[in-house]
Amino acid sequence: MAQGTVFDSEPGFIKVLADTTTVPIYVNGSLVGHTPLENPIPVYQGIHHITHHPPSISDPFLQYTKTNGVKQIFVLSGDTVTVILNTHLLANRISQAKKEHYFTNYIGIGVSLLVLWQLWVLAN
């Protein structure tokens, strides 16, 4: 019995381009290398997630905000899909999301203190 290849059918490929060098590239949560990647990444046919942040990153803004940090693509067997990661733009979006989050928290605290003050005034 002959041993088969890793791929039962012809693999698809993902070619990753980034605006910055030495960016770590993760496909489906696994590190595949750093940019610039010389060769396309062979993958099974199907849906794949490409990002430049590890899945275990502790920054909640990357996990729970819509920053487009993760690219979801579908790769067909024998096809090559090119993904462009704009890391500079993502860093700006994360910074903006953090500012919005802090601003919203300050407004919430201010409104809460105003309500408590109004209740205190009404009670006296």
The pLDDT tens digits for 20-51 are: 788 788 888 888 888 888 899 999 889 998 88
Q: Would you say residue 7 lies in a domain?
A: no
Q: Would you say residue 5 lies in a domain?
A: no
Q: Would you say residue 100 lies in a domain?
A: yes
Q: Would you say residue 27 lies in a domain?
A: yes
Q: pTM, whole model, 2 decimals?
A: 0.58
Q: Would you say residue 1 lies in a domain?
A: no
Quick one: tokens of 29?
Answer: 């949560």
Q: Would you say residue 31 lies in a domain?
A: yes
d(Cα 26, Cα 28) in Å, to the nearest integer? 6
> Average pLDDT by consecutive 10-residue portion of the chain (124 residues)?
60 87 84 87 89 61 57 88 79 75 86 91 87
Instruction: Tell me the C-alpha to C-alpha distance, in Å, between residue 30 and each of 9, 25, 33, 121.
Output: 22, 8, 9, 58
Q: Would you say residue 108 lies in a domain?
A: yes
Task: Count CB-CB contacts under 10 A for residue 16.
Answer: 23
Q: Would you say residue 112 lies in a domain?
A: yes
Instruction: Tell me the C-alpha to C-alpha distance, in Å, between residue 49 and each of 26, 27, 52, 100, 114.
Output: 8, 6, 10, 27, 45
Instruction: State the pLDDT at residue 116.
Output: 92
Query: How many domains is the chain partitioned into structurally?
Result: 1
- Helices vs strands, H then E, count in the chain: 2, 7
Residue 65 sits in which domain range?
A: 12-123
CB-facing half-sphere around the CA of 111: CA atoms within 13 A: 6
